[in-house]
Amino acid sequence: MPSPERFHGILAPVLTPFRADLAPDAPRLVAHCRRLAAAGVDLAPFGTTGEGNSLSCEEKIELLERLVEAGIGPRRLLPGTGACALPDAVRLTAHAVARGCRGVLLLPPFYYKPVTDDGLFASVAELIERVGRAELRVYLYHIPPVAQVGYSLALVERLVHAYPGVIAGLKDSSGDWSHTLALIERGFDDFRVFSGSETFLLRNLRAGGAGAISATANATPDALVTLYREWRSERADTLQDALERTRAIFQRYPMIAALKAFIAESTHDPEWERVRPPLTPLSAGQRSELFAALREERSRS
């Protein structure tokens, strides 16, 4: 029987707001997480969309503290704790476990290329052993289009067998549905497979997957939750098509900047447009095009 302790459904890889001095803006982050949680999604801070690799360990630890202290339930949190430096990954993971987070999202160490499955296995195994907590739940983060280092099917199987119960699932941001499907069809015991985009959400659920951890959940959480709840209904394909059209609009632009522009517009808070270098915000022209396309899509729905 599937464990309720494992994540399922829709998670938002939460955007990170920044102040004028480029320090993380904890109050805005808390407010955004509250809005998302109220819409029915769980929260995955410090991932790709959250500019996690532009944040220091200290910043991530402080932000996680602020979220929990503000009443964001740690059982709804799946913070990104992967890092190229093993001690950093261990420190972040141990902190997340100590604060009661239901799991961590583990990006592989990605700087050195190529690395072998043996090397990646050793990295994950060393992290698990050093954290040394029975309640640790690791969700692997497979994003080879960006990291260029990923978790192969053989490596996932080896990790699941070596650490049953600890290796709890995987976010597949490969963009390759055949890879996601192969993971689902392996049938690992209570192993949750999430698509990294709502483009594959309906296929994921119909195949027996767990849901999606999607960047656009920052902007359209209600629509994603509706499809998750109604994926067996007659209108599921229509809901899926609408999600894909909206996703395609955001993907015409740098995704993080486009989503931040959307949040700035919808909250009437221009501070949200700020990104940390090397990223840059949308130009005025891009911003106008984005909102014109979104208005057109809304009028179609």
**Structure confidence by residue, pLDDT tens digits, 65-112:** 999 999 999 999 999 999 999 999 999 999 999 999 999 999 999 999
**Of 198, 255, 268, the residue nearest 51 (C-alpha):** 255
> Which position among 48, 81, 199, 216 bears the catalytic label?
48
Q: Is the sign of the CA dihedral 238, 244, 248, 249 positive or negative?
A: positive
> Which position among 151, 171, 199, 216 bears the catalytic label?
171
The CATH superfamily assigned to 9-235 is: Aldolase class I (3.20.20.70)
Using a 10 angstrom Cβ sphere, with 0-12 exposed, 13-18 middle and 19 or more buried, the burial of residue 173 is buried
- In whole angstroms, give the CA distance from residue 215 to residue 213: 7
**CB 47 within 8 Å of CB 80:** yes
> Which position among 49, 60, 93, 141 bears the catalytic label?
141
The predicted model scores a pTM of: 0.96
Which amino acid does the sequence have at 204? N
pLDDT above 90 as % of the chain: 96
- In whole angstroms, give the CA distance from residue 295 to residue 273: 19
- In whole angstroms, give the CA distance from residue 127 to residue 90: 6
Please calculate the CA angle 71-74-75 and round it to the nearest 5 degrees: 125
Ranges of each domain in the chain: 9-235
Per-residue pLDDT band at 3 (split at 50, 70, 90): low
**Structure confidence by residue, pLDDT tens digits, 165-211:** 999 999 999 999 999 999 999 989 899 999 999 999 999 999 999 99
Would residue 171 show up in a list of annotated catalytic residues for this protein?
Answer: yes
Has residue 1 got a pLDDT over 50?
A: no
**Three-state secondary structure call for residue 195:** strand
**Of 252, 184, 177, 263, the residue nearest 220 (C-alpha):** 263
36 CB neighbour count, 10 Å cutoff: 22
Please give the backbone phi and psi of residue 213, each rounded to the nearest 5 degrees, phi first: -115, 95
Token pair, residue 102, equals 């239901």
Would residue 111 show up in a list of annotated catalytic residues for this protein?
Answer: yes
Would residue 260 show up in a list of annotated catalytic residues for this protein?
Answer: no
Half-sphere exposure of 197 (CA within 13 A, CB side): 17
